[in-house]
Amino acid sequence: MSLRFHWFLPTYGDSRNLMAGGHGSSMSGDRPATLKYLNQIGAAAEDNGFEAVLTPTGAWCEDAWLTTAMLIDTTETLKFLVALRPGLLSPTLAAQMAATFQWQSGGRLLLNVVTGGEDHEQRTFGDFLTKNERYARCGEFLDVTRKLWANEGPVTFDGEYIKVENASLQRYPDPVPPIFFGGSSPAAGTVASQFADTYLTWGEPPTAVASKIAWIRDLAEVQNRRLDYGIRLHVITRDTSEQAWAEADRLLAALDPKTIEAAQASLARSGSEGQRRMRELHSGGDAFTAGNGARSLEVSPNLWSGVGLVRGGAGTALVGSHEEVADRIAEYASIGLDHFILSGYPHVEEAFHFGEGVRPILERRGLVQLRDTTPSGVGTPFVSR
Protein backbone atom coordinates (compact mmCIF):
# COMPACT_ATOMS: atom_id res chain seq x y z
CA MET A 1 0.00 0.00 0.00
CA SER A 2 1.17 3.53 -0.77
CA LEU A 3 -1.17 6.31 0.28
CA ARG A 4 -1.15 9.51 -1.77
CA PHE A 5 -0.91 12.89 -0.07
CA HIS A 6 -1.86 16.26 -1.48
CA TRP A 7 -1.63 19.78 -0.07
CA PHE A 8 -3.78 22.88 -0.60
CA LEU A 9 -3.17 26.17 -2.42
CA PRO A 10 -5.11 28.98 -0.65
CA THR A 11 -5.61 31.35 -3.56
CA TYR A 12 -7.65 33.70 -1.35
CA GLY A 13 -4.74 34.29 1.03
CA ASP A 14 -3.25 32.65 4.09
CA SER A 15 -2.94 33.35 7.81
CA ARG A 16 -1.62 32.09 11.13
CA ASN A 17 -5.23 32.11 12.32
CA LEU A 18 -8.46 30.49 11.15
CA MET A 19 -10.01 32.36 8.26
CA ALA A 20 -13.72 33.00 7.89
CA GLY A 21 -15.61 32.54 4.64
CA GLY A 22 -15.31 30.40 1.55
CA HIS A 23 -17.86 28.37 -0.42
CA GLY A 24 -20.12 31.26 -1.30
CA SER A 25 -18.78 33.86 1.16
CA SER A 26 -15.89 36.30 0.77
CA MET A 27 -12.56 35.19 2.20
CA SER A 28 -9.11 36.75 2.57
CA GLY A 29 -6.00 36.38 4.67
CA ASP A 30 -3.33 38.63 6.09
CA ARG A 31 -0.83 36.87 3.83
CA PRO A 32 -2.08 37.87 0.37
CA ALA A 33 -2.13 35.19 -2.31
CA THR A 34 0.55 36.79 -4.42
CA LEU A 35 2.29 34.64 -6.99
CA LYS A 36 5.46 34.92 -4.91
CA TYR A 37 3.74 33.52 -1.83
CA LEU A 38 1.89 30.78 -3.71
CA ASN A 39 5.27 29.73 -5.12
CA GLN A 40 6.50 29.33 -1.55
CA ILE A 41 3.57 27.04 -0.75
CA GLY A 42 4.19 25.04 -3.91
CA ALA A 43 7.85 24.65 -3.00
CA ALA A 44 6.96 23.60 0.55
CA ALA A 45 4.51 21.00 -0.78
CA GLU A 46 7.04 19.67 -3.27
CA ASP A 47 9.85 19.58 -0.68
CA ASN A 48 7.67 17.59 1.72
CA GLY A 49 6.63 14.91 -0.72
CA PHE A 50 3.08 15.99 -1.53
CA GLU A 51 1.95 14.77 -4.93
CA ALA A 52 -0.35 17.67 -5.82
CA VAL A 53 -1.97 20.85 -4.52
CA LEU A 54 -5.73 21.31 -4.59
CA THR A 55 -6.73 24.72 -5.93
CA PRO A 56 -10.26 25.95 -5.10
CA THR A 57 -12.80 27.56 -7.38
CA GLY A 58 -15.45 30.18 -6.70
CA ALA A 59 -16.14 33.88 -6.42
CA TRP A 60 -14.20 33.96 -3.13
CA CYS A 61 -10.79 32.98 -4.57
CA GLU A 62 -8.57 33.53 -7.59
CA ASP A 63 -9.14 31.60 -10.82
CA ALA A 64 -7.77 28.08 -10.46
CA TRP A 65 -6.71 27.51 -14.08
CA LEU A 66 -4.76 30.73 -14.48
CA THR A 67 -3.11 30.51 -11.06
CA THR A 68 -1.85 26.96 -11.45
CA ALA A 69 -0.67 27.54 -15.01
CA MET A 70 1.60 30.30 -13.69
CA LEU A 71 3.14 27.85 -11.20
CA ILE A 72 4.18 25.20 -13.72
CA ASP A 73 7.62 26.67 -14.41
CA THR A 74 8.48 27.17 -10.74
CA THR A 75 7.84 23.55 -9.77
CA GLU A 76 9.31 20.30 -11.02
CA THR A 77 7.21 17.31 -9.94
CA LEU A 78 4.24 18.92 -8.17
CA LYS A 79 0.86 18.23 -9.76
CA PHE A 80 -2.12 20.56 -9.71
CA LEU A 81 -5.56 19.38 -8.64
CA VAL A 82 -7.53 22.12 -10.37
CA ALA A 83 -11.13 22.69 -9.33
CA LEU A 84 -13.61 23.50 -12.09
CA ARG A 85 -17.34 24.15 -12.23
CA PRO A 86 -18.91 22.39 -15.20
CA GLY A 87 -21.72 24.89 -15.58
CA LEU A 88 -19.40 27.79 -16.29
CA LEU A 89 -17.73 26.60 -19.51
CA SER A 90 -18.42 24.22 -22.34
CA PRO A 91 -17.22 20.59 -22.07
CA THR A 92 -15.29 20.97 -25.32
CA LEU A 93 -13.40 23.99 -23.99
CA ALA A 94 -12.71 22.22 -20.69
CA ALA A 95 -11.39 19.17 -22.54
CA GLN A 96 -9.18 21.41 -24.67
CA MET A 97 -7.86 23.32 -21.63
CA ALA A 98 -7.00 20.07 -19.89
CA ALA A 99 -5.15 18.79 -22.96
CA THR A 100 -3.14 22.02 -23.19
CA PHE A 101 -2.32 21.94 -19.48
CA GLN A 102 -1.14 18.32 -19.68
CA TRP A 103 1.08 19.09 -22.67
CA GLN A 104 2.68 22.22 -21.23
CA SER A 105 3.10 20.79 -17.71
CA GLY A 106 4.34 17.35 -18.68
CA GLY A 107 1.24 15.57 -17.41
CA ARG A 108 0.80 17.30 -14.05
CA LEU A 109 -2.94 18.03 -14.12
CA LEU A 110 -5.67 16.43 -12.00
CA LEU A 111 -9.24 17.74 -11.98
CA ASN A 112 -11.62 18.32 -9.08
CA VAL A 113 -15.11 18.74 -10.50
CA VAL A 114 -17.25 21.00 -8.29
CA THR A 115 -20.93 21.09 -9.17
CA GLY A 116 -21.62 24.10 -6.90
CA GLY A 117 -23.63 23.94 -3.69
CA GLU A 118 -24.63 27.58 -3.20
CA ASP A 119 -27.46 28.86 -5.38
CA HIS A 120 -26.68 32.53 -4.74
CA GLU A 121 -23.04 32.11 -5.77
CA GLN A 122 -23.94 30.17 -8.92
CA ARG A 123 -26.27 32.99 -9.93
CA THR A 124 -23.43 35.51 -9.76
CA PHE A 125 -21.86 33.48 -12.57
CA GLY A 126 -25.11 33.42 -14.54
CA ASP A 127 -26.12 29.87 -13.55
CA PHE A 128 -29.76 29.66 -12.45
CA LEU A 129 -30.27 25.89 -12.37
CA THR A 130 -31.41 24.12 -9.21
CA LYS A 131 -29.04 21.85 -7.30
CA ASN A 132 -30.40 18.61 -8.82
CA GLU A 133 -30.37 20.18 -12.27
CA ARG A 134 -26.72 21.15 -11.77
CA TYR A 135 -25.82 17.55 -10.98
CA ALA A 136 -27.72 16.32 -14.06
CA ARG A 137 -25.87 18.84 -16.20
CA CYS A 138 -22.58 17.82 -14.58
CA GLY A 139 -23.18 14.21 -15.62
CA GLU A 140 -23.77 15.28 -19.23
CA PHE A 141 -20.69 17.54 -19.11
CA LEU A 142 -18.44 14.72 -17.91
CA ASP A 143 -19.94 12.30 -20.42
CA VAL A 144 -18.98 14.63 -23.28
CA THR A 145 -15.57 15.43 -21.83
CA ARG A 146 -14.64 11.78 -21.39
CA LYS A 147 -15.82 10.96 -24.92
CA LEU A 148 -13.63 13.74 -26.31
CA TRP A 149 -10.61 12.49 -24.36
CA ALA A 150 -11.21 8.94 -25.63
CA ASN A 151 -10.25 10.09 -29.14
CA GLU A 152 -12.81 7.91 -30.87
CA GLY A 153 -13.93 10.46 -33.44
CA PRO A 154 -16.10 13.60 -33.44
CA VAL A 155 -18.62 13.80 -30.60
CA THR A 156 -22.23 14.81 -31.09
CA PHE A 157 -24.31 14.98 -27.92
CA ASP A 158 -27.88 16.20 -27.52
CA GLY A 159 -28.69 16.21 -23.82
CA GLU A 160 -31.12 18.15 -21.70
CA TYR A 161 -28.44 20.66 -20.68
CA ILE A 162 -25.41 20.00 -22.90
CA LYS A 163 -25.45 20.05 -26.69
CA VAL A 164 -22.40 19.77 -28.95
CA GLU A 165 -22.09 18.86 -32.63
CA ASN A 166 -19.07 17.20 -34.26
CA ALA A 167 -16.81 18.24 -31.39
CA SER A 168 -13.20 17.10 -31.50
CA LEU A 169 -9.78 17.99 -30.13
CA GLN A 170 -6.59 18.71 -32.03
CA ARG A 171 -4.55 17.55 -29.04
CA TYR A 172 -5.53 14.87 -26.54
CA PRO A 173 -4.39 14.87 -22.89
CA ASP A 174 -1.60 12.44 -22.09
CA PRO A 175 -2.31 11.12 -19.58
CA VAL A 176 -6.04 11.73 -19.29
CA PRO A 177 -6.38 13.72 -16.03
CA PRO A 178 -8.08 11.75 -13.26
CA ILE A 179 -11.36 13.22 -12.06
CA PHE A 180 -11.91 13.84 -8.33
CA PHE A 181 -15.50 14.39 -7.32
CA GLY A 182 -17.31 14.95 -4.02
CA GLY A 183 -20.86 15.27 -2.80
CA SER A 184 -23.13 13.78 -0.16
CA SER A 185 -26.55 14.01 -1.84
CA PRO A 186 -28.18 11.18 -3.83
CA ALA A 187 -27.68 13.16 -7.04
CA ALA A 188 -23.96 13.51 -6.28
CA GLY A 189 -23.64 9.77 -5.70
CA THR A 190 -25.15 9.01 -9.10
CA VAL A 191 -22.68 11.26 -10.94
CA ALA A 192 -19.70 10.07 -8.91
CA SER A 193 -20.44 6.40 -9.56
CA GLN A 194 -20.65 7.00 -13.32
CA PHE A 195 -17.78 9.40 -14.01
CA ALA A 196 -15.39 9.94 -11.07
CA ASP A 197 -12.01 8.27 -10.69
CA THR A 198 -11.72 9.31 -7.03
CA TYR A 199 -14.65 10.05 -4.74
CA LEU A 200 -13.89 12.71 -2.11
CA THR A 201 -15.46 13.30 1.27
CA TRP A 202 -14.87 16.05 3.79
CA GLY A 203 -13.41 14.92 7.10
CA GLU A 204 -16.06 13.11 9.10
CA PRO A 205 -15.55 10.46 11.81
CA PRO A 206 -14.32 7.12 10.43
CA THR A 207 -17.67 5.35 10.86
CA ALA A 208 -19.44 8.02 8.81
CA VAL A 209 -16.72 7.95 6.15
CA ALA A 210 -16.95 4.16 5.95
CA SER A 211 -20.69 4.44 5.32
CA LYS A 212 -20.16 6.95 2.51
CA ILE A 213 -17.53 4.76 0.88
CA ALA A 214 -19.85 1.75 1.04
CA TRP A 215 -22.65 3.83 -0.50
CA ILE A 216 -20.56 4.98 -3.46
CA ARG A 217 -18.93 1.57 -3.90
CA ASP A 218 -22.35 -0.06 -4.24
CA LEU A 219 -23.44 2.53 -6.79
CA ALA A 220 -20.22 2.09 -8.76
CA GLU A 221 -20.58 -1.70 -8.84
CA VAL A 222 -23.90 -1.26 -10.64
CA GLN A 223 -21.97 0.70 -13.28
CA ASN A 224 -19.26 -2.00 -13.34
CA ARG A 225 -16.75 0.59 -12.14
CA ARG A 226 -14.17 0.72 -9.35
CA LEU A 227 -13.19 4.02 -7.73
CA ASP A 228 -10.46 5.33 -5.46
CA TYR A 229 -11.50 7.23 -2.34
CA GLY A 230 -10.10 10.35 -0.72
CA ILE A 231 -10.66 12.69 2.21
CA ARG A 232 -10.21 16.44 2.66
CA LEU A 233 -8.85 17.47 6.06
CA HIS A 234 -6.91 20.19 7.80
CA VAL A 235 -4.07 19.15 10.10
CA ILE A 236 -2.38 20.43 13.25
CA THR A 237 0.52 18.12 14.06
CA ARG A 238 3.29 18.70 16.58
CA ASP A 239 5.94 16.74 18.47
CA THR A 240 3.52 16.17 21.35
CA SER A 241 -0.24 16.01 21.69
CA GLU A 242 -0.16 18.83 24.23
CA GLN A 243 1.58 21.13 21.76
CA ALA A 244 -0.93 20.35 19.02
CA TRP A 245 -3.97 20.96 21.20
CA ALA A 246 -2.38 24.14 22.55
CA GLU A 247 -2.23 25.39 18.96
CA ALA A 248 -5.90 24.45 18.44
CA ASP A 249 -6.74 26.38 21.62
CA ARG A 250 -4.80 29.37 20.30
CA LEU A 251 -6.69 29.30 17.00
CA LEU A 252 -9.99 29.02 18.84
CA ALA A 253 -9.20 31.84 21.27
CA ALA A 254 -8.41 34.18 18.36
CA LEU A 255 -11.94 33.84 16.94
CA ASP A 256 -14.45 36.60 17.50
CA PRO A 257 -17.83 35.15 18.61
CA LYS A 258 -19.57 37.62 16.27
CA THR A 259 -17.54 36.24 13.37
CA ILE A 260 -18.62 32.71 14.27
CA GLU A 261 -22.26 33.78 14.55
CA ALA A 262 -22.17 35.47 11.15
CA ALA A 263 -20.41 32.53 9.51
CA GLN A 264 -22.87 30.01 10.92
CA ALA A 265 -25.84 32.10 9.81
CA SER A 266 -24.40 32.12 6.29
CA LEU A 267 -23.57 28.40 6.28
CA ALA A 268 -27.05 27.53 7.58
CA ARG A 269 -28.46 28.80 4.28
CA SER A 270 -26.26 26.47 2.26
CA GLY A 271 -27.92 23.98 -0.06
CA SER A 272 -24.99 21.58 0.31
CA GLU A 273 -25.65 18.28 2.09
CA GLY A 274 -21.95 18.04 2.87
CA GLN A 275 -22.04 21.48 4.48
CA ARG A 276 -25.01 20.45 6.59
CA ARG A 277 -23.06 17.44 7.83
CA MET A 278 -20.07 19.66 8.67
CA ARG A 279 -22.28 21.98 10.74
CA GLU A 280 -23.81 19.05 12.60
CA LEU A 281 -20.40 18.11 13.95
CA HIS A 282 -20.28 21.26 16.10
CA SER A 283 -24.07 21.73 16.41
CA GLY A 284 -24.06 24.88 14.34
CA GLY A 285 -21.56 26.55 16.66
CA ASP A 286 -23.25 25.58 19.92
CA ALA A 287 -20.23 23.50 20.93
CA PHE A 288 -18.15 26.69 20.85
CA THR A 289 -20.69 28.65 22.88
CA ALA A 290 -20.26 26.16 25.72
CA GLY A 291 -16.74 27.60 26.05
CA ASN A 292 -14.82 24.51 27.12
CA GLY A 293 -11.81 24.94 24.86
CA ALA A 294 -10.65 23.11 21.76
CA ARG A 295 -11.19 19.63 23.19
CA SER A 296 -14.94 20.29 23.44
CA LEU A 297 -14.97 20.29 19.62
CA GLU A 298 -13.24 16.92 19.28
CA VAL A 299 -15.88 14.81 17.50
CA SER A 300 -13.79 11.65 17.17
CA PRO A 301 -10.29 10.80 18.47
CA ASN A 302 -8.01 13.59 17.16
CA LEU A 303 -10.72 14.91 14.80
CA TRP A 304 -11.47 18.58 15.59
CA SER A 305 -14.47 20.45 14.19
CA GLY A 306 -13.19 23.91 15.14
CA VAL A 307 -12.20 24.97 11.63
CA GLY A 308 -15.81 24.67 10.49
CA LEU A 309 -16.94 27.31 12.97
CA VAL A 310 -15.93 29.98 10.46
CA ARG A 311 -14.84 28.22 7.27
CA GLY A 312 -17.18 26.86 4.64
CA GLY A 313 -16.42 23.50 3.06
CA ALA A 314 -13.94 21.21 4.77
CA GLY A 315 -14.28 22.07 8.46
CA THR A 316 -12.36 19.44 10.42
CA ALA A 317 -8.71 18.95 11.32
CA LEU A 318 -6.58 16.09 12.57
CA VAL A 319 -5.02 17.37 15.80
CA GLY A 320 -2.35 15.54 17.76
CA SER A 321 1.21 14.36 17.97
CA HIS A 322 2.88 13.10 14.83
CA GLU A 323 2.26 9.53 16.01
CA GLU A 324 -1.41 10.22 16.73
CA VAL A 325 -1.99 11.85 13.35
CA ALA A 326 -0.29 8.89 11.67
CA ASP A 327 -2.58 6.57 13.66
CA ARG A 328 -5.67 8.38 12.44
CA ILE A 329 -4.46 8.32 8.84
CA ALA A 330 -3.84 4.58 9.15
CA GLU A 331 -7.37 4.17 10.53
CA TYR A 332 -8.88 6.01 7.58
CA ALA A 333 -6.71 4.00 5.19
CA SER A 334 -8.02 0.77 6.71
CA ILE A 335 -11.57 1.64 5.64
CA GLY A 336 -10.55 2.25 2.04
CA LEU A 337 -9.15 5.76 1.64
CA ASP A 338 -6.32 6.19 -0.86
CA HIS A 339 -5.94 9.99 -1.13
CA PHE A 340 -5.49 12.53 1.67
CA ILE A 341 -5.86 16.20 0.75
CA LEU A 342 -4.51 18.20 3.67
CA SER A 343 -3.97 21.82 4.65
CA GLY A 344 -3.05 23.88 7.70
CA TYR A 345 -2.58 27.39 9.01
CA PRO A 346 -0.32 28.76 7.74
CA HIS A 347 0.20 26.52 4.73
CA VAL A 348 3.96 26.89 4.35
CA GLU A 349 4.82 26.07 7.96
CA GLU A 350 2.23 23.33 8.43
CA ALA A 351 3.43 21.52 5.29
CA PHE A 352 6.80 21.15 6.99
CA HIS A 353 5.26 20.03 10.29
CA PHE A 354 3.53 17.22 8.42
CA GLY A 355 6.36 16.40 6.03
CA GLU A 356 9.04 16.25 8.71
CA GLY A 357 6.89 14.84 11.51
CA VAL A 358 4.18 12.54 10.16
CA ARG A 359 5.44 11.36 6.80
CA PRO A 360 8.54 9.56 8.17
CA ILE A 361 6.27 7.60 10.54
CA LEU A 362 4.01 6.58 7.66
CA GLU A 363 7.08 5.56 5.65
CA ARG A 364 8.30 3.34 8.49
CA ARG A 365 4.87 1.73 8.67
CA GLY A 366 4.88 1.03 4.94
CA LEU A 367 1.87 3.22 4.29
CA VAL A 368 3.62 5.63 1.96
CA GLN A 369 6.43 5.17 -0.51
CA LEU A 370 9.91 6.07 0.69
CA ARG A 371 11.19 9.30 -0.80
CA ASP A 372 14.58 9.53 -2.49
CA THR A 373 16.03 12.63 -0.86
CA THR A 374 19.50 12.20 -2.34
CA PRO A 375 20.36 15.18 -4.58
CA SER A 376 21.00 13.94 -8.10
CA GLY A 377 24.47 14.47 -9.49
CA VAL A 378 25.86 16.03 -6.32
CA GLY A 379 28.78 14.49 -4.47
CA THR A 380 30.12 15.26 -1.02
CA PRO A 381 31.16 18.92 -1.05
CA PHE A 382 34.74 20.03 -0.48
CA VAL A 383 36.13 16.50 -0.44
CA SER A 384 38.93 15.66 -2.86
CA ARG A 385 38.56 12.52 -4.94
What pLDDT, in 10s, does the model give residues 83-108? 999 989 999 999 999 999 999 999 99
Over residues 211-239, the mean pLDDT reads: 98
Nearby residues of 380 by Cβ (< 8 Å), 6 or more positions away: none
Q: Is the pLDDT of residue 378 over 50?
A: no
Is position 380 within any domain?
no
Q: Quick one: pLDDT band at residue 1, thresholds 50, 70, 90?
A: low
Q: Quick one: pLDDT band at residue 28, thresholds 50, 70, 90?
A: confident
Identify the H or E element spanning 343: strand 339-343
How many CB atoms neighbour CB 15 within 10 A? 16
Looking at every residue in the chain, the average pLDDT score rounds to 94
Range of the domain at 169: 4-233+333-364
Q: What is the pLDDT of residues 296-318, one digit of tens each?
A: 999 999 999 999 999 999 999 99
Is position 255 within any domain?
no
The CA–CA distances, whole Å, from 152 to 102, 148, 273, 304 equal 19, 7, 37, 48
CA neighbor of 6 nearest in space, from 46, 63, 66, 61: 46
Q: How many domains, in total, are found in the chain?
A: 1
Is position 379 within any domain?
no
Angle between helices 322-334 and 206-222 (to 10 degrees): 30
Query: What 3-state DSSP class applies to 297?
Result: helix
Is position 269 within any domain?
no
Is position 168 within any domain?
yes
pTM score of the predicted model: 0.95
Q: In the chain, what percentage of residues exceed pLDDT 90?
A: 87
Over residues 31-60, the mean pLDDT reads: 97
Over residues 214-242, the mean pLDDT reads: 98
158 strand-pairing partners:
163
Over residues 226-242, the mean pLDDT reads: 98
Which CATH number is 125's domain given?
A: 3.20.20.30
Question: Strand 179-182 vs strand 198-202: parallel, antiparallel, or unpaired?
Answer: parallel
Is position 337 within any domain?
yes
Identify the H or E element spanning 43: helix 35-47
Q: In the chain, what percentage of residues exceed pLDDT 70?
A: 96
Is position 94 within any domain?
yes
Instruction: Report whether 279 contacts 267 (CB < 8 A).
Output: yes
Count how many residues are written for the chain: 385
Q: Is the pLDDT of residue 172 over 50?
A: yes
Question: Strand 317-321 vs strand 303-304: parallel, antiparallel, or unpaired?
Answer: antiparallel
Is position 90 within any domain?
yes
